[in-house]
Chains A and B, each alone.
Chain A
Amino acid sequence: MITKFQVALKNLLRKKIRSLLTLIGIALSSWVLVSLLGFNHGYETALNKDVDNMGFQLMIMAKGCPYEAATMMLKGGTGLRYMDESIMRDVAKEPEVEKITPILMTAVFDPNKGESGGIAGYFGIEPKSFAEMKPFLRFRQGGWFTDANGYEAVMGFEAAELEQREVGDMILMPEKNVEFKVVGILERTGTQDDGTIFVPLKTTQKIFNRSDEITTIGIKLKKGVDSGRLEEQLYQLPDVQIVSLAQVKETIMKLISTAKVMVLSIAIIAILIAMVGVINTILTSVWERFQEIGILKTVGAMPWDVFKLIWIETFILCMIGGVLGVVMALILARVTDMVIRTVLPYAPGGGLVLIDLKLILVTLAAIVGIGLLSGIYPAWKAGRIRPLEAIRGDVG
């Protein structure tokens, strides 16, 4: 026995070009929707990962714009300010503090980086406290420095790939003309650490003439404590600013949400245009088959049967279009990722477009749901066709 589904499918195949164009419209809107929702999900996840991988919840930096400072920490950059290392003693006394680590961020111009040179970041760190803050760091080769005053370097995964260095090789710090021996190469973390070169704090202070000075103190809080009181207390310290990474994350998300609302609006308009296309296609198809639909009623189809038949056509179009859109979104996720990175002022590491099964199902449900709503009017019109009018050819 032939089913309604087969009848509907064969009818859609009758006008292949028209059905294909409608499918493309639905697929494009589905692609935009999946990519947007994937970005929504992916960006937040990546930002969370980036912030969590910092290993600390608060940073103390020399006074300046806190968001500039935070962005510099996340992304690397210049315009550094310095504070006295002795501040660490005061910070360590606070009851909420579990661990602290000092960092001296330095930036030098490397003429060999990129096509016209670029900034290379060297982080002076204390390996013991820094490693405790970031227990997830794993070495691909070697380990941390053996001498706190030595000329040794630990390279992030991408930095080592870029410089093509192995443990035991030497690297030259541009501008300063100082050589370091590579003692360790980290596994990929998907964070800014991948592009960083870590050197001993004392050595960095000596090279840059910043004795007893640092740029940042990373603070890891004890579990469950309220950082509010600590922040108040730390603001009492002279010439420092406190950056809460939770606040930074919130602010970045707020900035991004404005862009997301705009893109979501465009996606909704795209979906509406696609659905008008669906209504047009199905309605045209109903009028073209006016007599056929009338004949279906003479051979026993109830109005509801005809309604279902037309609705199935809408369902097939939306389902296939929706799936095509999802496949496009999956295939082009990396391209979408690259495009988004070029337009955003800050993008965290890792994939920005995260498409999972739940997201796919939600999108398909939305596309099919809106599609079926669009199909109600043509299906209702078809269900109301009277066989006698159809046989006479009284299209109306």
Chain B
Amino acid sequence: MNENGISIATTNLTKVYTRGNEKVVSVNDVSFQVNKGEFISIIGPSGSGKTTLINLLGCLDNPTVGEIYLRGRSIFGNGKRLSERELTKIRRETFGYIFQNFYLIPTLTVMENVMLPLTFYCKPGAEKEALRVVKLLGMDHRKDHLPDQISGGEMQRVAIARAMVNMPEILLADEPTGNLDTKRSVEIIQVLKELNCSAGLTVVMVTHNQELARYADRMFEMRDGRIYQIGGDEKDIF
């Protein structure tokens, strides 16, 4: 696969879960690509496989079949299953994650939460980045507060800052506005859009909200484990 201009791509990506005696195909033969600096959104009903897809893209799980390419390089070459250690190594060098439930550590302050990834892995220059990111996200006035002392929207801003502190290439956002009201949701999407435009960050966002999904450069929909580009042909992409 040619790496020019492509941030992440998949070919025939499939994930099958076993639930009791039943096999559930959560992601079914998905092939698509995301360009560098692109903001894409994935929508779809519950159970359509969008969270499973973003987890596979973020190397939180091994696919059953198929391949993922990062900057043109194969990750699961010849169906190889990666260990937790190998997956972690890829994750920390490439991805930043934000989740619907924020998952901030309640005993740590805003600043400590943002700096937490640096405790385990620190890209050169990342330490200086922490305060800049906190300021960029407008949380510097709250940096010594604990998570339970700030609002939901602010918590998600802290989670974004934490995801950004190690300067990832790709930001994966799974329902980042799921726990926020409309006003805060728009603010968070605008923050993501700004990071995408100003820092050239590739953003992959899963959401239920079609209005918010329209902020993305391209929109995809997942149905029954398969992916379709909205506004494009009604077939698998790539």
A:298-314 near B, CB below 8 Å: 298-303, 305
Query: Are the CB atoms of A11 and B107 closer together than 8 Å?
Result: yes
* Partner pick for B99 among A11, A296, A301, A391, CB 8 A cutoff: A391
* Partner pick for B107 among A1, A3, A10, A301, CB 8 A cutoff: A10
Query: Are the CB atoms of A1 and B115 closer together than 8 Å?
Result: yes
**Bound CA span A371–B127, Å:** 34
**Residue A343 at the chain B interface, CB threshold 8 Å:** no
The chain A residue sitting closest to B162, CB to CB, is A299
Query: Are the CB atoms of B105 and A305 closer together than 8 Å?
Result: no
**Residue B166 at the chain A interface, CB threshold 8 Å:** yes
**Residue A204 at the chain B interface, CB threshold 8 Å:** no
The chain B residue sitting closest to A11, CB to CB, is B107
* Partner pick for B85 among A2, A6, A13, A302, CB 8 A cutoff: A302
* Partner pick for B88 among A2, A14, A297, CB 8 A cutoff: A297
**Residue A386 at the chain B interface, CB threshold 8 Å:** yes
A10-B107, A291-B103, A388-B61 given as contacts; is B116 within 8 A of A303 (CB)?
Answer: no
Give the size range of B's interface with the partner.
Answer: 20 to 34
Which residues of the other chain, B, contact A14 by a CB distance below 8 angstroms? Answer: 106-107
B:117-163 near A, CB below 8 Å: 117-122, 127, 162-163
Query: Are the CB atoms of B120 and A305 closer together than 8 Å?
Result: yes
Which residues of the other chain, A, contact B122 by a CB distance below 8 angstroms? Answer: 1
Query: Are the CB atoms of B107 and A2 closer together than 8 Å?
Result: no
B97 to A: closest C-beta gap in Å = 5
A80 to B: closest C-beta gap in Å = 73
* Partner pick for B120 among A10, A292, A302, A384, CB 8 A cutoff: A302
Which residues of the other chain, A, contact B106 by a CB distance below 8 angstroms? Answer: 14
**Residue A4 at the chain B interface, CB threshold 8 Å:** yes
A288 to B: closest C-beta gap in Å = 11
Which residues of the other chain, B, contact A296 by a CB distance below 8 angstroms? Answer: 116, 120
**Residue B50 at the chain A interface, CB threshold 8 Å:** no
Query: Are the CB atoms of B127 and A1 closer together than 8 Å?
Result: yes
Query: Are the CB atoms of A386 and B120 closer together than 8 Å?
Result: no
**Bound CA span A305–B91, Å:** 15
Chain A window 145-176, contacts with chain B (Cβ cutoff 8 Å), 1 for yes, 0 for no: 00000000000000000000000000000000
**Residue A387 at the chain B interface, CB threshold 8 Å:** yes
**Residue B24 at the chain A interface, CB threshold 8 Å:** no
Which residues of the other chain, B, contact A387 by a CB distance below 8 angstroms? Answer: 60
Which residues of the other chain, A, contact B163 by a CB distance below 8 angstroms? Answer: 299
A2-B112, A291-B103, A305-B120 given as contacts; is B166 within 8 A of A300 (CB)?
Answer: yes
Chain B window 75-105, contacts with chain A (Cβ cutoff 8 Å), 1 for yes, 0 for no: 0000000001100110110000101000101
A:260-307 near B, CB below 8 Å: 291-292, 295-303, 305
Q: List 11 A-B contacts (CB under 8 A).
A: A1-B118, A1-B127, A7-B116, A292-B105, A295-B103, A296-B120, A298-B60, A299-B162, A301-B88, A302-B85, A384-B84
